[in-house]
Copies of this chain bind each other. A is one copy, B any other.
């Protein structure tokens, strides 16, 4: 039997929410079946199985949820599964997509997260287009990996599939909130013609699929330095396994942070540098401050990932025991 089925894993978020007409607020209370009923065009693209893993707004995403989701994906990887779509709140879609990227090694199928900036029962909703483009991408590709499929721009012409570890929500309300500054789009999907343009070298991974679950005993911090940052704040992470610091520029901190960072590293905290510029590589070789940080044992040099992704990468590495 050829692969022909797409699994939709439902987790909640705006894509699965409705306006509560009593209060006017948007709440997570959509049922998966309703999504299918709302977008009958989906049936033209593929057959689907719809599974509900959670029904939460994305600000409440925690590592239990991410582990459950990873296990549901593992279960969904079967001979007849062409790919998996995860409906997810956009607020933290990039934290989850980065986590899944690092947790699911050698994915044989595409696992595509989609969200919506307007709830599915609103006429202006972007939910349907993101969903349909994700389904089309899955049907037409042999790519294996975690991606995020959202509007390319403010028009309703195309979606882009961003790599899960490089997606980031960059606007609180626009439908094209997810962007990549540098490179690395996986594909562009035309909503109008249905065409899929691959923008990424397709590598079919033949190695054994592996899953790492997040170890809930591991604590990792994510902080940002800034003018007026009190270095004593760093002492709060002394019992953590790891700490990601969003440094300025290429990965810098104020001189007064150096003794505290040195102390954290001595106490066994793995300290990783990321950049609060979000885009661009960390490079601690260029300026003298960066060189000092390297000397102290700060890691993360030459990494080109958003800080949220660096955070998830560290968490998964520590969960593996490495």
Contact = CB atoms under 8 A, between A and B. Distances in A.
Interface of A: 20, 23, 25-27, 57-63, 66, 89-92, 95-96, 99, 169-174, 177, 181, 219-230, 233, 236, 246-255, 275-283, 285-289, 291, 308, 311, 315
Contacts of A174: 279-280
A172 B281 contact: yes
A78 to B, nearest CB: 28
A57 B289 CA distance: 9
A228 B90 contact: no
Contact of A252 (B57, B283, B289, B315): B57
Given A283-B173, A308-B226, A252 B59 contact: yes
A287 B25 contact: yes
Contacts of A25: 285-288, 291
A151 to B, nearest CB: 14
Contacts of A99: 227
Contacts of A90: 249
Contacts of A279: 170-172, 174
B236 A233 contact: yes
Given A287-B57, A291-B25, A172 B223 contact: no
A188 B308 CA distance: 33
Given A171-B280, A173-B283, A236-B233, A224 B224 contact: yes
19 contacts: A20-B288, A25-B291, A57-B289, A61-B227, A62-B227, A92-B227, A95-B226, A169-B277, A170-B278, A171-B181, A172-B250, A172-B251, A172-B279, A172-B281, A173-B283, A177-B277, A224-B224, A226-B311, A278-B278
B172 A249 contact: yes
A70 to B, nearest CB: 13
B170 A181 contact: yes
A224 B226 CA distance: 12
A59 B281 contact: no
A127 B315 CA distance: 39
Nearest to A66: B227
A272 to B, nearest CB: 14
Contacts of A181: 170-171
B226 A219 contact: no
Contacts of A224: 222-224, 246
A213 to B, nearest CB: 14
Contacts of A95: 226-227
Contacts of A60: 254-255
Given A27-B288, A181-B171, A58 B248 contact: yes
A67 to B, nearest CB: 11
A224 B25 CA distance: 24
9 tightest A-B contacts by CB?
Answer: A172-B280, A91-B249, A59-B252, A91-B248, A171-B280, A171-B279, A61-B227, A25-B288, A172-B277
